[in-house]
Amino acid sequence: MVAPRLTTKALRLPTSKLLRPALTTATPRAAPTLTQKRHLTGPYGYHQSKALTFSSFGEPIDVLSLHTHSISPTLPSGSVLVRTLAAPVNPADVNTIQGTYGSKPPFTTLLGTAQPSAVPGNEACFEVLSVGQGVKGLEKGDWVIPAKTGFGTFRTHALVEEAEGKLMRVEREGLTPVQVATVSVNPCSAYRMLKDYVDLVGLSMRWYREGKDVSGGAWFLQNGANSGVGRAAVQFGRLWGLRSINVVRERETPEETEKLKEELTGLGANVVLTEQEFLDRSFRDRLGELTKGGKEPLLLGMNCVGGKSASAVVKALSPKGCMVTYGGMSRQSFPFPTGPQIFKRLRFEGFWLSEWGKENPEGKKKMIEDILNLMREGKFKESPVQEVEWNWETEEKTLKEAVQGTLGGFRSGKGVFVFGET
Active site residues: 101
Helix axes 254-267, 228-239, angle to 10 degrees: 40
The CB-side HSE value for 131 (13 A sphere, CA atoms) comes to 19
156 neighbors 169 (Cβ within 8 angstroms): no
Rounded CA separation 401/417 (Å): 12
Rounded CA separation 49/324 (Å): 41
143 neighbors 172 (Cβ within 8 angstroms): yes
Rounded CA separation 233/191 (Å): 7
Residue (of 270, 278, 290) closest to 315 by Cα position: 278
Q: Which residues contact 238 (CB under 8 A, 6 or more apart)?
A: 267, 268
Rounded CA separation 161/1 (Å): 8
Rounded CA separation 410/390 (Å): 23
Q: Which residues contact 334 (CB under 8 A, 6 or more apart)?
A: 303, 306, 307, 310, 311, 325, 328
Q: Which residues pair with 87 in a beta bridge?
A: 417
Rounded CA separation 289/304 (Å): 25
